[in-house]
Amino acid sequence: MRYTDLIDPDYVISSNSNLCKKYTIKRYLTDISYFINFRPWQIPNRVYRKLYTNWKARVSVHQEDMNQAWEIILPLLAQENMCFKVANLNVIEKFKQGRQDRLEHLLEEHKRFLQNQNSPNLKFLRKTFHKIYQEIDSYRRSEWRFISFIQTYLNYVVSFSNTL
């Protein structure tokens, strides 16, 4: 099975394939799960939780080489009957695109702000700050570095505008 087939929601994994004989494959086709999980059939749930829990390996592969890497890695993992999970690139791509869109929006707001920062109208500045802070609140807590950077920048601007 190719990796592109695995992440394709319309692709049906054959129940006769060796992969289905060895693993329970959980593909979440709602495009909200970041991973596709493979769990060996032979290990019961309770026993499985105790076994193989002290190791983790992470393999990063360029997106263009994913099919080739998948053909090499999958047989090795299946041979040892290891439990593993695979990143769902469809979801990651959507996540990346969403972040890019938000970044472009913030850059656009920043450009507008820079064009109008020489305005003597303090009401404009207050409205702009309020709008930017509302946008920052919409970010996830996992993006704290970006939020921290923006808040620090805004604090500098606020303290500068207070000295005017």
Structure tokens belonging to residue 132: 């930017």
d(CA 75, CA 99): 35
Is the pLDDT at 151 greater than 80? The verdict is no
pTM > 0.75: yes or no: no
Residue 135's beta-bridge partner residues? none
**What pLDDT score was predicted for residue 99?**
78
pLDDT tens-digit series, residues 74-122: 777 777 666 777 776 766 677 778 778 888 888 887 777 767 666 666 6
Report the sign of the C-alpha dihedral through residues 69, 77, 3, 56, in that order.
Answer: negative
pLDDT in tens, 25-78: 665 555 555 566 666 655 555 555 555 555 666 777 777 787 888 888 877 777
Q: Reading across the β-sheet that carries 35-40, which strands appear in turn?
A: 23-26, 35-40, 84-87
Distance CA 150, CA 18 (A): 51
H helices of the chain, in order, are 3-6, 18-22, 45-50, 66-79, 89-116, 122-137, 144-162
Which residues are bridge partners to 37 per DSSP?
Answer: 26, 85
Tokens matching residue 116? 């109008």
